[in-house]
Amino acid sequence: MVSKITERIVPEIKEWQSRPLEKIYTFIFMDAIHYKVRTDGHIINRAAYVVLGVTIEGIKDVLGIWTLKNESSRFWLGVLNELKNRGVEDVLVFSVDGLTGIKEAIQAAFPKSEIQRCIIHQLRSCFKYVSYKHLKEFSKDFKAVYQAANEEIARDEFEKLKNKWQNLYPYAIKSWENNWDVLSPFYKFPEEVRKIMYTTNIIEGFHRQLRKVTKSKTIFPSDEALEKMLYLVTMNVLKKWTVRYKNWDIVLNQLIIMYPGRLEKYP
């Protein structure tokens, strides 16, 4: 009986995953959550790549979920072209983790879009190189970098941090330096926009909802079973996403000024 009921949602999933989308999104967030799936008698790691968007009205939406073993520029370009084929013409800002090939794919599909590396993910990435005994002090020093009022101040604070910690933790410093071009856009935004761009506020919140349901399911019997679960949980989450972001009028006016001529085309 349960199997028959879940079989009915397969066409729903396909329809949802191919539905028409908005012409423009102010922000799109992209990240992955990992599961174990049994395939041909073997247990493999499967990533579910989640794409979340914020509409011009300030409402969150899940644009789609793609399951795959490995990511690449070609994979991400396929996802982005799929979004375009579903009606997306423009995206102001992509906020992403360090997903393989994502930067190149965005530049190819949406060359006008800003690419912002998730600050929280970047911090976690560099903190893994730091000894626990220094982590509190190192974290405090980095706070002055990522909470800086503008990029110039951020660079000054980063140089102070670099001079202090470079010899002890060169890889932690290097990981930030290597990604500065996709971290620095953050500094030109006001506080209201920065709050939205902290991906922990949206995408990790969504992941927590998924984990609540999947924590008792350590291994999925098939890719289809995983996809059904992701779809059903997503539908429940979307029912609650009916309220726009706080202070959205302020955010929207800031974005109109920062990206002239792009939002006005879509009343």
Is the pTM value of this prediction over 0.85? yes
Could you give the C-alpha distances from 16 to 41, 53, 206, 235, in angstroms and in order? Answer: 30, 15, 18, 10
pLDDT of residue 2: 41
d(Cα 202, Cα 199) in Å, to the nearest integer? 5
d(Cα 249, Cα 245) in Å, to the nearest integer? 9
Between vectors from CA 192 to CA 188 and to CA 195, what angle results, nearest 5°? 90
Encoding tokens for residue 215? Answer: 């924590």
Beta-bridge partner residues of 93? 27, 114
Could you give the C-alpha distances from 8 to 1, 94, 96, in angstroms and in order? Answer: 11, 34, 33
d(Cα 207, Cα 226) in Å, to the nearest integer? 14
- Provide Rg for the chain, Cα atoms: 20
Low-confidence ranges of the chain (pLDDT < 70): 1-6, 69-71, 199-201, 214-217
Q: What digits encode the pLDDT tens for the residues 32-56?
A: 888 888 888 888 888 888 999 999 9
Question: Which residue matches tokens 């974005």?
Answer: 255
pLDDT of residue 3: 53
